[in-house]
Amino acid sequence: MDFLTNYLDTTFSAVPAYEAFIRILSATLLGGVIGFERERQEKPAGLRTHILVSVAACLFVILGQELAALEYGNGEDVKRVDPLRMIEAVTAGVAFLAAGLIFTANGRVQNVTTGTSLWLAGAVGLGCGAGQMALAAMATAVVVCVLWILRLVEKYMGTH
């Protein structure tokens, strides 16, 4: 056990191992909340997919922070680290994945909300990876409320 503790203490430089674990666990739980709502509605992307997207986005941010902390060159080289590039890459990747869920059948566009919830699960994962678990939790709560309340409104209006 001491070997593992020592290894983890020296392996992580920017984000301590316990903090990385908390961030990944938070991304898992919050992505799971969104995915559970989609799963209950029997949508094509549910619990597992939302969790995986959220955890992947979280991991990309943590890896970006770790790479930014590495020493490059002989000190004269300028290290160019732009956290927005990581966010853009994750956003584009998840948007590509989510777009694959959206299709047209019988003249109707379907799965837009599920595609959007996947995109949001990526944003929640980015927030967790950046250490902003409270912000990610607030966004998750708002999204689940919107999905739930608006479904009730749509049923009441007869548009669902």
Sequence-distant (≥ 6) Cβ neighbours of residue 35 within 8 angstroms = 45, 46, 47, 48, 49, 50, 51, 121
Write down the pTM of the prediction: 0.83
- 74: in domain: no
- Is residue 80 pLDDT above 70, yes or no? no
- 76: in domain: no
- Is residue 81 pLDDT above 70, yes or no? no
- 153: in domain: yes
Give me the number of domains the chain comprises. 1
pLDDT tens digit sequence for 88-113: 888 898 888 888 888 777 778 888 89
- 150: in domain: yes
What is the pLDDT, as a whole number, of residue 126? Answer: 95
Helix axes 17-40, 133-157, angle to 10 degrees: 0
Q: Which residue has the higher pLDDT, 110 or 24?
A: 24
What is the pLDDT, as a whole number, of residue 78? Answer: 56
- 15: in domain: yes
CA proximity to 15, closest of 52, 64, 87, 53: 64
Domain of 14? 2-69+82-157
- 75: in domain: no
- Is residue 38 pLDDT above 80, yes or no? yes
φ and ψ of 81, to 5 deg: -120, 125
Least confident of 48-52, 80-84, 110-114, 147-151: 80-84
Residue 3: burial class (beta carbons within 10 Å; 0-12, 13-18, 19+): exposed
- 90: in domain: yes
What is the pLDDT, as a whole number, of residue 109? Answer: 84
Sequence-distant (≥ 6) Cβ neighbours of residue 115 within 8 angstroms = 45, 98, 99, 101, 102
What is the pLDDT, as a whole number, of residue 97? Answer: 86
- 77: in domain: no
Least confident of 8-22, 23-37, 68-82: 68-82
